[in-house]
Amino acid sequence: MTKIIGLTGGIGSGKTTIANYFKSKGIPVYIADDEAKNILQTKEVQLEIRTVFGNTVFSDDKVDKNKLAEFVFSNPEKLKILNSIIHPKVKNHFDNWVEKQQNFPFVIKEAAILFESGSYKLCDKIITIVVPLDERIQRVIHRDTTSYENVMRRINNQWTDEQRMSKSDYIIYNSDLEIAKKQANSILKILKNQ
């Protein structure tokens, strides 16, 4: 049975960078956020989103991810509704993907809200990526060309590093990428020997 290793961390912690590093080592990696974005653009989900949130989160007849994010991250109830639409579909897709990875002893599931969504319960081990908060904020402002306030709204809807770390098996400190890669390699050795 293929084991599932959860990979998570707060926004701006470098999850995708570390996930891609694991991928470069031949480990199958599932990026939950990428699939959520794909699902968001399906006709069925767009209809649900329009029914629940109205036309304000649409641009050119497609869901505008920035408008949607701004809307839900300032309203926790709306965020719950959005998650209830998207997460079951991502879980379905992930389960089908895992079925195709049975030749591997383990796969990595990268998810920003692994804990918040409850999907951590399906993981055999969990890796959390940690970066000081001010560094994460600057990374996201620069990456998304967004405001400090928008970043903080998103951060405030996620678990803290301390909460994530308390439920994780491994921690990667990602302020320095080369050091983070060494930590990732050490974790891979442990996982391969289990």
17 among the known binding-site residues?
yes
- Distance of CA 192 to CAs 21, 79, 181, Å? 16, 37, 16
Q: Is 168 a known ligand-binding residue?
A: no
127 and 168 in contact (C-beta within 8 Å)? yes
Q: How far apart are CA 187 and CA 181, in angstroms?
A: 10
Measure the CA–CA gap between 108 and 169, rounded to whole angstroms: 14
Residue 145 labelled as part of a binding site: no
How far is the C-alpha of 59 from the C-alpha of 71, rounded, in Å? 14
10 is in an annotated binding site: no
Residue 51 labeled ligand binder: no
The alpha carbon dihedral of 112, 118, 122, 128 has a sign of positive
Q: Residues forming the annotated binding site?
A: 12-17
Annotated binding-site residue numbers for ATP: 12-17
